[in-house]
Chain A
Amino acid sequence: DIQMTQSPSSLSVSVGDSVTITCRASQAIDIHVAWFQQKPGKAPKSLIYSASSLQSGVPSKFRGSGSGTDFALTISSLQPEDSATYYCQQYMRYPFTFGGGTKVEMK
């Protein structure tokens, strides 16, 4: 199985900050990576696919990058509504696997 190692596990940020979350795959997966945002008690929301493509309706403050084994999600100009847990996921090969999540909290 392809392991997705996500870091950091949590972040405390201020309004207006930018943050970068990283995800490393245990083997090369081209650009078959997606990123999701999940708020407490809610279903995940799809943000990014193919490593860097924005899902429809997702603001451009979310930016994905990377290929091969190393990927990143950068969120700029953080607002209180961006407080959530973020997950990466590989869909190169079954079984599809997720990173452990990064909880982003506002100071």
Chain B
Amino acid sequence: EVQLLESGGGLVPPGGSLTLSCATSGFTFTSHGVNWARQAPGKGLEWVSGFSISDEYLHYADSVQGRFSLSRDTSKGTIYLHMNSLRAEDTAVYYCAKSLLGTNGCFESWGQGTLVTVSS
């Protein structure tokens, strides 16, 4: 069974840092793109970041470029989103999503999400 489990969310002051984890099981994430997306309170969905499975290049939304970074631990099946210089507008539920085999952004399964609140 495919599972994605996000963790690491919480309350952080503006300018602070936080690392989110997405623990995966039931599939090989080097063959399926795994991405992060977010949803601010009462707003729509926004793609944040992901690995390109063909060349392992890291991609980021302009809104987080230079502040967020991705890493992964293949042995643990876990992907991390390292978030620095957090702003109030980064407040959102962060989801990780698994893509269809061989695709980068065709999401087929989603985690339950983890809430990040940036506030003093």
B6's nearest neighbour on chain A, judged by CB, is A43
Interface flags, B90-108, vs A, CB<8A=1, else 0: 0000010101100111111
In the bound assembly, the distance between CA atoms of A95 and B111 in angstroms comes to 20
Tell me if B44 and A95 are in contact (CB < 8 A).
no
Interface size class on chain A is 20 to 34
Q: Which residues of B contact A99 (CB under 8 A)?
A: 44
A91's contact among B45, B95, B103, B112, by CB below 8 Å, is which?
Answer: B103
Confirm or deny: A71 has a beta carbon within 8 angstroms of a beta carbon on chain B.
Answer: no
Closest to B60 in A: A95
Contact between B45 and A46, CB atoms less than 8 A apart: no
Interchain Cβ contacts within 8 Å, total number: 61
A97: which B residues are within 8 A, CB to CB?
47
Q: How many residues of B contact A (CB 8 A)?
A: 26
Choose from B35, B44, B52, B113 the contact partner of A43 (Cβ within 8 Å). Answer: B113
Cβ contacts A32-62/B at 8 Å (1 or 0 each):
1010101000011110011000010000000
8 examples of A-B residue contacts, CB within 8 angstroms: A34-B106, A36-B107, A38-B45, A43-B111, A44-B45, A46-B110, A89-B105, A101-B45
Q: In the complex, what's the smallest C-beta–C-beta distance from A56 to chain B, in angstroms?
A: 8
- Give chain B residues whose Cβ lies under 8 Å from the Cβ of A94: 52, 59, 104-105
Q: Are B110 and A96 in contact (CB under 8 A)?
A: no
Pick the contact of A100 from B35, B44, B108, B113 — CB < 8 Å? Answer: B44
B107 partner residues in chain A, CB cutoff 8 A: 34, 36, 44, 46, 89, 91
* Contact present for B108 and A46 (CB under 8 Å): yes
